[in-house]
Amino acid sequence: MRRQLREFLEMIKFEHTIFVLPFAYLGMVLAAGRWPSWWIFIWVTVAMASARTLAMAANRLIDRFIDARNPRTADRALPQHRITPLTVVAIGAVSLLIFELAAAALNPLALALSPAAVAFLVGYPYAKRYTWLSHWILGFTDGMAVVGGWVAVTAWLELPAWLLWMAVTFWIAGFDLIYACQDVAFDQAEGLYSVPACFGVKVALDLARICHGITLLSLAAVGIVMHLNPVYWVGLAGALALLVYEHSLVSPTDLSRVDMAFFNVNGYISVLIFVTTLIAVLIG
């Protein structure tokens, strides 16, 4: 059982929760206008970690046969039978129960919205079978994290929450466009939909830049609407620099550094935005 659990955590890359968790905290802190209660912080953390675990379990389970045929993903735990589908289903079910418990512990609105969140968390892997808009559907799904953090505090949605949701939607979509460039030939052969497979790598990278521009504009709008102090804008300038660096790592003729752009840089961006926003809120 311990070996299966280790395989599961490795399979879902649990450590990559860092991508979205800071944005859940961002919504939480901005909604509260300060550091919220530890009760809210703990349950938001539990909700986000369990939601991502559920989403990744569903993704790996639904895509296991596709992953087995893709040379880039064929060595994953499910295609290699290092973990059983039953184990993935069981852990996913436990994650679902924990997520619902966390939503109920926060407030009635969080609980009422949780079924819609679960539908997107479990359903988004099917998007690439039907539409090249799958990148934005993934972004929309991950963007629910920031809305969850906001709702956990206020039990309501306001303009900054919608702007934050837009920011995360386009941020995630942008780097998913970059990541999908690795699988153009495979996606075309399998009849899967992605922007790189349908329109080419150059179009995908251009759209990724546009998406990240929208992310920065959305975050800037949050700063203006909420009258955040200069520390927030320093963080936004840092995010701009990191995004420029991210896009410099890849080109239509060189995708060898996609993993660095995908994993490292985006982790730095989410942490930087959260930390500078937290400081801005705390010092007023």
* pTM, rounded to two decimals: 0.91
Amino acid letter, 134: S
Enumerate the domain spans of the chain.
2-283
Query: Could you tell me the pLDDT band of residue 13, with boundaries at 50, 70 and 90?
Result: low
Q: DSSP 3-state helix, strand, coil percentages of the chain (rounded to 5)?
A: 80, 0, 20
Cα–Cα distances in angstroms (integers) from residue 227 to residues 145, 222, 235, in the given order:
23, 8, 15
Is the pLDDT confidence value at 89 over 90? yes
pLDDT for 257: 83
**What does the CA dihedral 69, 75, 78, 81 come to, rounded to 10 degrees?**
110
* Cβ contact 135:180 at 8 Å: yes
* CA–CA distance, 267 with 274 (Å, rounded to integer): 11
Instruction: Please compute the mean of the pLDDT values over residues 138-158 and round it to a whole number.
Output: 94
- The residues near 1 (Cβ < 8 Å, ≥ 6 apart) are none
Instruction: Please compute the mean of the pLDDT values over residues 213-223 and round it to a whole number.
Output: 97
Q: Within 10 A of 230 (CB to CB), how many other CB atoms are there?
A: 10
Compute the mean pLDDT over every residue in the chain, rounded to the nearest whole number: 91
pLDDT for 1: 63
CA-closest candidate to residue 195, choices 185, 184, 210, 209? 184
Query: Could you tell me the pLDDT band of residue 174, with boundaries at 50, 70 and 90?
Result: very high
Look up residue 67 and give its two tokens.
């992953």
What class is the 2-283 domain? mainly alpha
* Cβ contact 155:21 at 8 Å: no
pLDDT for 8: 65
Angle, helices 108-123 vs 38-62, to 10°: value is 20
Instruction: Please compute the mean of the pLDDT values over residues 145-162 and round it to a whole number.
Output: 94
CA angle 147, 262, 143 (to 5 degrees): 10
Q: Spell 237-246 as b/e; 16+ CB within 10 A means b.
A: ebbbebbeeb
* CA–CA distance, 251 with 206 (Å, rounded to integer): 10
Query: Could you tell me the pLDDT band of residue 83, with boundaries at 50, 70 and 90?
Result: confident
Is the pLDDT confidence value at 12 over 70? no
